[in-house]
Amino acid sequence: EKAGYRHFMLKEIFEQPQAILNTFRGRLDPETGKVQLPEIGLNAVELKKISRISLVACGTSWHAALVAKYWLEKWVGIPVEVDIASEFRYRRLLLDETVMVVPISQSGETADTLAGLRLAKKMGAKVIAICNVLGSTITREAHGTIYTHAGPEIGVASTKAFTCQLTALLLLTLFLGEVRKTMSAKNRKAIGHALLELPALMEQELPRLQEETARIAEAFTHSRDFLYLGRGSNFPIALEGALKLKEISYIHAEGYAAGELKHGPIALIDRDMPVLALAPKDSVYEKVISNVEEVKARNGRIILVANAGDKNCRRIAEQVITVPLCHEELNPILFVVPLQLLAYEIANLRGCDVDQPRNLAKSVTVE
């Protein structure tokens, strides 16, 4: 059932190209980049009335929500708020029928996310879930569900469910961008085409990324702490990389917005605090590089995840993981893959039970 892979987690990492394809197949028009999401069940008039989007989730699903905020605000121009479900449910909510609440959950059974959904419904909001498990409680209670067709995810550490959530959220962005006329056909096409090409690109890169991360993992097997840095839509990917490492290798890891470094965490930098930085060639690339230079100036050990052909990296970093260049908006989906693999390889070298990490359950059905 592991199809020759040593662990479900590794199998699921390698299934991502197919899973992503399954998520956009039948929804994304290859020519125009137009997206169909009839499962939302709202007509154009209702969709135009949406004044705010509120994304609610836990753990890795919350990281997907954080990425989506960048996409939706940039391309749809609707204010987006993102909440951890256990916070959402216990604060004063300002919701009404013009707010679209989007609970995001792989399992569809997470207690806090479900409680948030119920509150939102009671207050009259439109509730459109993003979920992987067919017929789960969240999908039964939401007004509509955009399914991520990732297939069953067995490993406790979420991998393919995450990249499929991102795919679904990008589809939602393209969809709303068209209905609300906030996105040009040119931009929609460019992102749509890049998404179509993503599965093949990822498939081609996976074996090399596994080799590279396995080699790097050896140098960091005994680390006790790790810092992950990113900016913009890759800041949540830093959080996700850190969460993966914590969960399965039990190494203390923190994700930070790279610009926050000098507001505290830089005090931690020494040879025992490796820093992984995400530096795709995007609009904030220069900013990330200057943050990484600050780490270097303090004699920190740096792993840089950057685009192939980046000339800066070898000069700055002790280790470099390269990711092929693609449309800027897809970087979070591509850049998370080496982080999943790095966590996997380090955990393995440490002899950890990758699929069943201690103290964790696949779905958290109690609060």
Binding site for ligand M6R (CB under 6 A): 58-61, 105-107, 110, 113, 156-158, 247, 360, 363-364
* Cβ distance to ligand M6R smaller for residue 112 or 282: 112
The CB-of-85 to ligand M6R minimum distance in angstroms stands at 8
Q: Would you tell me how many other CB atoms lie within 10 Å of the CB of residue 32?
A: 12
The CB-of-169 to ligand M6R minimum distance in angstroms stands at 13
Contact 167, 148 (CB under 8 A): yes
The CB-of-364 to ligand M6R minimum distance in angstroms stands at 5
The CB-of-301 to ligand M6R minimum distance in angstroms stands at 25
* Cβ distance to ligand M6R smaller for residue 57 or 174: 57
Residue at shortest CB range from ligand M6R: 59
**Residue 362 annotated as catalytic:** yes
Rounded Cα distance between 44 and 18, Å, is 31
The CB-of-360 to ligand M6R minimum distance in angstroms stands at 6
If residue 191 lies in a helix (H) or strand (E), which one and from where to where? Answer: helix 185-220
Written as one string, the DSSP assignment of 114-175 is HHHHHHHHHTT-EEEEEESSTT-HHHHHSSEEEE-------SSS-SHHHHHHHHHHHHHHHH
Taking alpha carbons only, the member of 257, 231, 248 closest to residue 341 is 248
Angle between helices 331-349 and 160-179 (to 10 degrees): 170
Burial of 218 (0-12, 13-18, 19+ CB in 10 A): exposed
Active-site hit among 74, 121, 296, 362: 362
* Cβ distance to ligand M6R smaller for residue 37 or 117: 117
Contact 166, 67 (CB under 8 A): yes
Rounded Cα distance between 93 and 130, Å, is 21
The CB-of-276 to ligand M6R minimum distance in angstroms stands at 17
* Cβ distance to ligand M6R smaller for residue 159 or 307: 159
Taking CA atoms, 259 is separated from 48, 270, 288, 331, in Å, by: 35, 18, 8, 19
* Cβ distance to ligand M6R smaller for residue 136 or 307: 136
The CB-of-318 to ligand M6R minimum distance in angstroms stands at 27
Buried/exposed 150-174: b ≥16 CB within 10 Å, e otherwise: beebebbbbbbbbbbbbbbbbbbbb
* Cβ distance to ligand M6R smaller for residue 103 or 192: 103
Contact 50, 58 (CB under 8 A): no
Amino acid letter for position 355: D
If residue 244 lies in a helix (H) or strand (E), which one and from where to where? Answer: helix 235-249
The strands making up 302-307's β-sheet, listed across from edge to edge, are 252-257, 225-230, 275-279, 302-307, 319-323
Cα 313 vs. chain centroid, distance in angstroms? Answer: 24
* Cβ distance to ligand M6R smaller for residue 136 or 173: 136
| Catalytic site positions | 362
